């Protein structure tokens, strides 16, 4: 199992990260960018609300700034050690609060960007051309090439299902070997066609039956 840090992100991860930043409106999510948790913590300690403003939590950030201004206005009436202690204690809590807010924002941005990257890679992979089939060699190369051509004609609607079946029967009947060893060699040569979908289980069973009758 892959470590959580390297596990592909899922829409559930994004929903969880989104719920953790519920102070940001849906219309503003596209504007959300990474924030430095350290900077947010420093702003929170000094100004109480600055770190939350950095994390785009404008309502609570402005509220904390307002509380700071109120404390400054009231500090003239407080004994100096008490006023300084209040500022420091609230600053510590505000720093932790701001740090967590910035981390939550970064978690959302990271999950969002990871999902966008995964979607882009998946789309690019779908646009890649299919690998070319391995060129047939050996004594059965001509048969393999003919069968692939028939499949291509059928995929292009130039042969009906019935016409494709009739032509495959003719080719496989003509190619059916006389011995079991030769049949095994032929089946091995046709194995790539089974993997490509050119031949199906019915074709293989028919070839075995025809080869066994000889």
Computed from CA positions of residues 194, 195, 200, 205, in that sequence, does the dihedral angle turn out positive or negative? Answer: positive
Look at 129 and 194; give whichever has higher pLDDT: 194
Average pLDDT over residues 179-186: 88
Based on the fold, state whether residues 122 and 190 are members of the same structural domain.
no
- Judged against a pLDDT cut of 50, whether residue 1 lies above it is answered with no
Range of the domain at 183: 141-213
First to last CA, the chain: 53
Q: Which of 101, 127, 153 is the last residue of a domain?
A: 127
Q: Give per-residue pLDDT as tens, 93-145.
A: 999 999 999 999 999 999 999 999 998 888 877 776 666 666 666 788 889 89
| SS3 (DSSP) at 33 | coil
CA distances from 211 to 193, 202, 214 (A): 18, 14, 6
Q: What is the mean pLDDT of the chain?
A: 87
- In this prediction, residue 106 carries a pLDDT of 96
- Of 127, 157, 174, the position where a domain reaches its end is 127
**pTM for this structure?**
0.57
User: Residue by residue, what is the 3-state secondary structure of 102-120?
Assistant: HHHHHHHHHHHHHHHHHHH
* pLDDT at site 178: 79
For residue 133, tell me if it sits in a domain: no
Give which of 182, 173, 172 is closest to 138, Cα–Cα: 182
| Per-residue pLDDT at 44 | 94
Over range 167-171, report the average pLDDT.
Answer: 91
Mean pLDDT score, 50-73: 92
What residues contact 73, with CB distance under 8 A and at least 6 apart? none
pLDDT at 19: 95
Same domain, yes or no: 164 and 70: no
Backbone φ and ψ for 140, nearest 5 degrees, come out as -105, 15
Domain end residue (candidates: 105, 127, 149): 127
Total count of domains within the chain: 2
| Whether the predicted pLDDT of 2 surpasses 70 | no
In this structure, the answer to whether residues 171 and 123 fall within a common structural domain is: no
Asked if residue 83 and residue 24 are part of one domain, the reply reads yes
């Amino acid at each position: 199992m892959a470590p959580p840090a390297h596990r592909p992100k899922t829409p559930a991860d994004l929903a969880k990260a989104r719920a953790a930043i519920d102070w940001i409106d849906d219309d503003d999510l596209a504007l959300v960018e990474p924030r430095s948790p350290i900077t947010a913590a420093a702003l929170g300690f000094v100004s109480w609300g600055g770190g939350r403003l950095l994390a785009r939590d404008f309502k609570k950030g402005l509220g904390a700034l307002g509380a700071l201004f109120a404390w400054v206005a009231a500090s003239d009436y407080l004994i100096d050690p008490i006023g300084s202690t209040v500022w420091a204690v609230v600053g510590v809590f505000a720093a932790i609060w701001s740090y967590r807010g910035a981390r939550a924002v970064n978690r959302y941005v990271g999950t969002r960007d990871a999902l966008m990257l995964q979607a882009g890679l998946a789309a690019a992979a779908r646009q890649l051309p299919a690998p070319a089939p391995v060129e047939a060699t050996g004594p059965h190369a001509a048969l393999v090439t003919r069968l692939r051509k028939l499949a291509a004609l059928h995929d292009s609607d130039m042969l009906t299902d019935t016409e494709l079946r009739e032509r495959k029967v003719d080719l496989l009947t003509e190619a059916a070997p006389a011995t079991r060893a030769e049949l095994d060699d032929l089946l091995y040569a046709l194995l790539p066609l089974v993997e490509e979908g050119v031949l199906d289980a019915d074709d293989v069973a028919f070839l075995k039956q025809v080869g066994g009758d000889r």
